[in-house]
Amino acid sequence: MIHLEHLDIEFPGFRVDDVNLHVEEGEFFALIGPTGSGKSLVLESIAGLVRQARCRLMVQGEDMSHLAPEKRGIGIVYQDNALFPHLNVMQNVSFGLRYYKGNRQEARDRVERLIDMLGLRRLVHRSVARLSGGEKQRISIARALSVNPRVLLLDEPLSALDPNFREEIRLVLKELHETLGTTFFMVTHDFSEAMFLANRVGVMHRGKLEQIGETRDVFCRPNTPFVAKFVGMKNVFSAEFEGKMAHFDALSCALEHTPALGAEYLALRPEDIELYPRGAKIPEHFAHFSGKLVGIQDLGFVFELAAQVAGLEFRTILDRKRMLASSLCPGDEVQIAFPPSAVHCF
Ligand SMILES: Nc1ncnc2c1ncn2[C@@H]1O[C@H](COP(=O)(O)OP(=O)(O)OP(=O)(O)O)[C@@H](O)[C@H]1O
């Protein structure tokens, strides 16, 4: 559906380096990565706002590489919604139809349907100036979809919203995608947004696409230390492997499977590591090590705990109830433990 080949962009101090990606028709694809990793440049290249001679872009089998942005049939939603303040809600939603070359009646019917789907019916005659952030974003989504685009590009559509509206728009996007079946291509720096919305993700790091795959797969099986940390695997250690044994720092543990040839790292999600007091009984098949609790951080619903084991620091999560019921303090002697199935090697 979207087929992007050899995207290279060079600015002083930054380079998008040979990005290639393929998005299937009807997919919800998310390009994720930290701020400044080049995500928006990829999105703008698909929109035609950034041009590169060598890059080839096909959308629904049509070569768009040299087409002007307005000829690509692509809709965009930005984080700041960019509505026209002098127009009312209906005029904003219908704005793109002024230049629309398709069937007018179908377009008007589509606008009416979008108005209902996005819960904008009671607002149609209101000025956009005094609406909430969530309402404004729903209008900009309706406006982008009013021209029946081949692809909807979403550039950080949730990041300017406060948390309540973020939740609301997240659900709106999920429902719209399921109902319309349009291909959605979203850029975000928030992995949890991608987990909720996208079937597949690509992870950008310093202008390179470091991993691309099913969202769940990238979450469970990252293939570089950067991606592992980005998806929340806070325990990533250099390791050597010998059959089904891993050796890292002064520690060794048994693995469930023999790692792939060339694997160099071992990673564990914090929620897969259990923390026990010294001397407590640990499930037999768990790997376990003694160490010292060196940090406790209150993250709201959960606490993040750091334990020093040999030369390494392990991070684990404890829910609020368990943490408050425990009498854990920094300096306590503890044991950390995890099942072999929790260890990811790459
Ligand atoms: N027109 C430009 N001229 C020079 N540098 C640019 C230009 N556009 C983008 N950059 C640089 O390219 C890098 C990547 O920018 P980009 O906006 O794609 O990042 P991003 O991953 O989308 O980040 P964010 O989440 O902050 O938007 C940044 O360092 C940015 O300053």
Residue 113: which of 58, 52, 182, 45 has the closest Cα?
Answer: 182
214-232 pLDDT tens trace: 999 999 999 999 999 999 9
- The band of 97, judged by pLDDT with boundaries at 50, 70 and 90, is confident
Q: Is the pLDDT of residue 168 over 80?
A: yes
Q: Are strands 28-32 and 183-188 parallel, antiparallel or unpaired?
A: parallel
194-220 pLDDT tens trace: 999 999 999 999 999 999 999 999 999
* DSSP percent split of the chain into helix, strand, coil, nearest 5: 30, 35, 35
Distance 6 CA to ligand 1 centre (A): 18
Distance 342 CA to ligand 1 centre (A): 36
Residue ranges and CATH numbers for the domains of the chain are: 2-225 (3.40.50.300), 233-345 (2.40.50.100)
Q: Can you tell me the mean pLDDT for 326-343? A: 95
Residue 230: which of 212, 207, 203, 268 has the closest Cα?
Answer: 203
Mean pLDDT of the chain: 94
Question: Ligand 1 in contact with 233 (CB < 6 A)?
Answer: no
Sign of CA dihedral 163, 167, 170, 172: negative
**pLDDT recorded at residue 101:** 80
The separation between CA 93 and the C-alpha centre of its own chain, rounded to angstroms, equals 27
Question: Ligand 1 in contact with 39 (CB < 6 A)?
Answer: yes
The separation between CA 28 and the C-alpha centre of its own chain, rounded to angstroms, equals 11
Is ipTM strictly over 0.90?
yes
Q: Are strands 265-268 and 302-309 parallel, antiparallel or unpaired?
A: unpaired
Whether 307 contacts 313, CB under 8 Å: yes
Distance 10 CA to ligand 1 centre (A): 11
7-61 pLDDT tens trace: 999 999 999 999 999 999 999 999 999 999 999 999 999 999 998 878 999 999 9
Tell the residue nearest (CA) to atom 5 of ligand 1. 11
Task: Measure the CA–CA gap between 207 and 45, rounded to whole angstroms.
Answer: 13
Q: Which atom of ligand 1 is nearest to the CA of 189?
A: 25
The predicted model scores a pTM of 0.91
**3-state DSSP assignment of residue 332:** coil
Question: Ligand 1 in contact with 41 (CB < 6 A)?
Answer: yes
Task: Measure the CA–CA gap between 242 and 316, rounded to whole angstroms.
Answer: 26
114-167 pLDDT tens trace: 999 999 999 999 999 889 999 999 999 999 999 999 999 999 999 988 888 899
263-279 pLDDT tens trace: 999 999 999 999 999 88
Q: Which of 16, 19, 41 to mutate to test the pocket of ligand 1 (most atoms within 8 A of CB)?
A: 41
Half-sphere exposure in the Cβ direction for 130 (13 Å, CA): 5
Q: How large a percentage of the chain has pLDDT more than 90?
A: 87
The separation between CA 25 and the C-alpha centre of its own chain, rounded to angstroms, equals 19
Q: Is the pLDDT of residue 6 over 80?
A: yes
Q: How large a percentage of the chain has pLDDT more than 70?
A: 100
Non-local (6+) Cβ contacts of 40 within 8 A are 155, 156, 187
